[in-house]
Amino acid sequence: MKILVPVKRVVDYNVKIRVKADQTGVDIANVKMSMNPFDEIAVEEAVRLKEKGVATEIVAVSAGTTASAETLRTALAMGADRGILIETDVELQPLAVAKLLKAIVAKETPGLIIMGKQAIDDDMNATGQMLAALLGWPQGTFASKITLSEGRIAVTREVDGGLETVDLALPAVVTADLRLNEPRYASLPNIMKARKKPIETLTPAALGVDVTPRLTVLKVEEPGKRKAGAKVASVAELVAKLRTEAKVI
Ligand code: AMP
Ligand 1 centroid to residue 105 C-alpha, Å? 15
Enumerate the β-bridge partners of residue 62.
85
Residue 141 confidence (pLDDT) above 90: yes
Ligand 1 centroid to residue 119 C-alpha, Å? 6
Mean pLDDT of the region 212-224: 93
Closest CA to 58 of 114, 96, 102: 114
Full residue range of the structural domain in which residue 78 is found: 2-244
Provide the pLDDT confidence category of residue 61 given band limits of 50, 70 and 90: very high
27 inside domain: yes
22 inside domain: yes
Q: Does 93 sit in the ligand 1 pocket, CB within 6 Å? A: no
Q: What does the DSSP 8-state code read for residue 26?
A: B
* Number of domains, the chain: 1
Q: Does 97 sit in the ligand 1 pocket, CB within 6 Å? A: yes
Closest CA to 146 of 178, 182, 180: 180
List Cα–Cα distances, 80 to 74, 154, 229, in angstroms.
Answer: 9, 23, 49
Q: How far apart are the first and last CA of the chain?
A: 61
Q: CATH number for the domain including 97?
A: 3.40.50.620
249 inside domain: no
220 inside domain: yes
Q: Does 126 sit in the ligand 1 pocket, CB within 6 Å? A: yes
Provide the pLDDT confidence category of residue 227 given band limits of 50, 70 and 90: confident
Provide the pLDDT confidence category of residue 70 given band limits of 50, 70 and 90: very high
Residue 223 confidence (pLDDT) above 90: no
Percent of the chain with pLDDT over 70: 100
pLDDT of residue 197: 98
